[in-house]
A and B are shown apart, each in its own frame.
Chain A
Amino acid sequence: MRTSSREFTLRRERTLAGALRVLRDEPGTVPLAGCTDVYVALQFGQTPGTRYLDLTPLAALRKITTSGDRLVIGALASYTDLQRSRLVRTRLPMLVEAAHTVGGAQIQHRGTVGGNLANASPAGDTLPVFAVSGAEVVLQGVDGERRVPFTSFYTGYRQSVRRPDELITAVEVPAVEGRQWFRKVGTRAAQAISKVVLAGVRAGSPALALGSVGPTVVRLPRTEALLASGSPIETALDALRAEISPIDDVRSTADYRRDVAANLVREFWARTA
Chain B
Amino acid sequence: MRTVGTNVARKEGMARATGAALFADDLKFPGMLHGRTVRTGTARGRLTGYKLGFDVAGFTVVDHRDIPGENVIALIERDQPCLVAEEIRHFAEPVLLLAHEDRDTLFAAPVQLHEEASPALLDPEQSQHVFKHILIEKGNLTRGLERADLVIEGTYSTGAQEHVYIEPNGVIAVPEAGGMALYGSMQCPYYVLKALKALLGNAAGTLRVVQTETGGGFGGKEEYPSVIASHACLLALKSGRPVKIIYDRIEDMVATTKRHPSIVRHRTGVTREGRLTAMEVDVLMDGGAYCTLSPVVLSRGVIHSAGPYRCANTRIEGRVVMTNTPPNGAFRGFGAPQTQFAMEVHMDRIAEQLGMDPATLRLRNALKPGDTTATGQKLGPDSSAVEVLRDAMKRSGFRRKRAKLAGTGRGIGLSLFFHGAGFTGSGEVMLGSRAGLETTPAGVRILVANTEIGQGTRTMLAQIVAEALGVPYEQVEVAQPDTSVVPDSGPTVASRTCMVVGGLLERCAKRMLAQLAGASPAEHHENLGRLHVEEQYQAPEGRQWSDKTYRGDAYATYSWGCDVAEVELDPVTHEARVTKFLAVQEFGRPIHPAMAQGQIEGASAQGIGWALLEDVVMRDGRMANPQLTNYVIPTTLDTPPMEVVMLENLYAGGPFGAKGVGEMPIDGPAPAVVNAIRHAGLDVRAIPATPERLMLAPKLAAHPEGAAR
The interface of chain A, by Cβ under 8 A from chain B, is 2, 4, 6, 40, 43-44, 104, 185, 187-193, 250-253, 255-256, 259-260, 263-264, 266-267
Q: Inside 8 A of A267's CB, which chain B residues have their CB?
A: 572
- Is the Cβ of B627 less than 8 Å from the Cβ of A44? yes
Distance, CA A4 to CA B692, complexed state (A): 38
Q: Inside 8 A of A2's CB, which chain B residues have their CB?
A: 107, 248, 250
- Is the Cβ of B638 less than 8 Å from the Cβ of A251? no
Which chain A residue lies CB-closest to B572? A263
* Extra 12 A-B pairs, beta carbons < 8 Å, given A2-B107, A44-B250, A263-B573: A6-B104, A185-B575, A188-B635, A188-B637, A250-B617, A250-B625, A251-B625, A251-B630, A255-B695, A259-B695, A260-B695, A263-B571
Q: Inside 8 A of B691's CB, which chain A residues have their CB?
A: 256, 260
- Is the Cβ of A189 less than 8 Å from the Cβ of B108? no
Q: Inside 8 A of A191's CB, which chain B residues have their CB?
A: 635
* Given A6-B104, A190-B635, A252 and B250 contact (CB-CB distance below 8 Å): no
Interface membership of B624, Cβ < 8 A: yes
- Is the Cβ of B624 less than 8 Å from the Cβ of A250? yes
Q: Pick 26 A–B contacts, CB within 8 A, sort by A.
A: A2-B248, A4-B107, A4-B108, A6-B104, A44-B250, A185-B575, A187-B613, A188-B634, A188-B638, A189-B635, A189-B637, A189-B638, A190-B635, A190-B636, A190-B638, A191-B635, A192-B632, A193-B630, A250-B624, A250-B630, A251-B625, A253-B692, A255-B695, A260-B573, A263-B571, A266-B572
Distance, CA A188 to CA B164, complexed state (A): 16
Q: Inside 8 A of A255's CB, which chain B residues have their CB?
A: 692, 695
Q: Inside 8 A of B638's CB, which chain A residues have their CB?
A: 188-190
- Is the Cβ of A256 less than 8 Å from the Cβ of B695? yes
Q: Inside 8 A of A187's CB, which chain B residues have their CB?
A: 613, 630, 632
Interface membership of B574, Cβ < 8 A: yes
Which chain A residue lies CB-closest to B639? A189
CB distance from B699 to the nearest CB of A (A): 15
Q: Inside 8 A of A190's CB, which chain B residues have their CB?
A: 635-638
Which chain B residue lies CB-closest to A267? B572
Distance, CA A259 to CA B573, complexed state (A): 9
The interface of chain B, by Cβ under 8 A from chain A, is 104, 107-108, 248, 250, 571-575, 577, 613, 617, 624-625, 627, 629-630, 632, 634-638, 691-692, 695
Distance, CA A24 to CA B312, complexed state (A): 82
CB distance from B244 to the nearest CB of A (A): 16
Distance, CA A193 to CA B107, complexed state (A): 29
CB distance from A97 to the nearest CB of B (A): 15
Distance, CA A255 to CA B574, complexed state (A): 12
Which chain B residue lies CB-closest to A266? B572
CB distance from B38 to the nearest CB of A (A): 14
Q: Inside 8 A of A252's CB, which chain B residues have their CB?
A: 692
CB distance from A108 to the nearest CB of B (A): 14
Decide if the interface of chain A is mainly helix, strand, loop or mixed. Answer: loop
Chain A to chain B: the 5 pairs with minimum beta-carbon distance, closest first? A4-B104, A189-B637, A190-B637, A263-B572, A250-B625
Which chain A residue lies CB-closest to B692? A256
Distance, CA A162 to CA B248, complexed state (A): 35
Which chain A residue lies CB-closest to B694? A256
Q: Inside 8 A of B573's CB, which chain A residues have their CB?
A: 185, 260, 263
Q: Inside 8 A of B574's CB, which chain A residues have their CB?
A: 256, 259-260
CB distance from B78 to the nearest CB of A (A): 34
Greatest chain A CB density within 10 A among B104, B248, B632, B695 is at B632
Distance, CA A185 to CA B690, complexed state (A): 13
Which chain B residue lies CB-closest to A253? B692
Q: Inside 8 A of B627's CB, which chain A residues have their CB?
A: 44
Distance, CA A43 to CA B104, complexed state (A): 12
- Is the Cβ of B572 less than 8 Å from the Cβ of A260? yes
Q: Inside 8 A of A104's CB, which chain B residues have their CB?
A: 635
Q: Inside 8 A of B625's CB, which chain A residues have their CB?
A: 250-251
Q: Inside 8 A of B613's CB, which chain A residues have their CB?
A: 187-188
**CB-contact partner of A188 in B104, B248, B572, B632, under 8 A:** B632
Distance, CA A259 to CA B695, complexed state (A): 9
Distance, CA A125 to CA B108, complexed state (A): 34
CB distance from B249 to the nearest CB of A (A): 9
Which chain B residue lies CB-closest to A2? B107
Which chain A residue lies CB-closest to B609? A188
Distance, CA A193 to CA B627, complexed state (A): 12
CB distance from B682 to the nearest CB of A (A): 15
Distance, CA A187 to CA B613, complexed state (A): 8
CB distance from B203 to the nearest CB of A (A): 33
Q: Inside 8 A of B630's CB, which chain A residues have their CB?
A: 187, 193, 250-251
Q: Inside 8 A of B635's CB, which chain A residues have their CB?
A: 104, 188-191
Distance, CA A185 to CA B572, complexed state (A): 10
Q: Inside 8 A of A260's CB, which chain B residues have their CB?
A: 572-574, 691, 695
CB distance from A250 to the nearest CB of B (A): 4
Which chain B residue lies CB-closest to A186? B632
Distance, CA A263 to CA B574, complexed state (A): 10
Distance, CA A143 to CA B575, complexed state (A): 50
Which chain A residue lies CB-closest to B104? A4
- Is the Cβ of B104 less than 8 Å from the Cβ of A264? no
Greatest chain A CB density within 10 A among B577, B629, B636 is at B629
Distance, CA A259 to CA B572, complexed state (A): 9
CB distance from B111 to the nearest CB of A (A): 14
Q: Inside 8 A of B629's CB, which chain A residues have their CB?
A: 40, 193
Q: Inside 8 A of B575's CB, which chain A residues have their CB?
A: 185
Distance, CA A145 to CA B627, complexed state (A): 40
Q: Inside 8 A of B632's CB, which chain A residues have their CB?
A: 187-188, 192
CB distance from B663 to the nearest CB of A (A): 24
CB distance from A205 to the nearest CB of B (A): 24
Q: Inside 8 A of A250's CB, which chain B residues have their CB?
A: 617, 624-625, 630
CB distance from B104 to the nearest CB of A (A): 4
Distance, CA A185 to CA B613, complexed state (A): 14
Distance, CA A189 to CA B568, complexed state (A): 14
Greatest chain A CB density within 10 A among B250, B572, B627, B691 is at B572
Which chain A residue lies CB-closest to B251? A2
Q: Inside 8 A of A259's CB, which chain B residues have their CB?
A: 574, 695
Distance, CA A253 to CA B108, complexed state (A): 35
Which chain A residue lies CB-closest to B575? A185
Q: Inside 8 A of A192's CB, which chain B residues have their CB?
A: 632
Distance, CA A44 to CA B574, complexed state (A): 31
Distance, CA A213 to CA B575, complexed state (A): 18
CB distance from B631 to the nearest CB of A (A): 9
Q: Inside 8 A of A193's CB, which chain B residues have their CB?
A: 629-630
Which chain A residue lies CB-closest to B248? A2
- Is the Cβ of A264 less than 8 Å from the Cβ of B617? no
CB distance from B282 to the nearest CB of A (A): 30
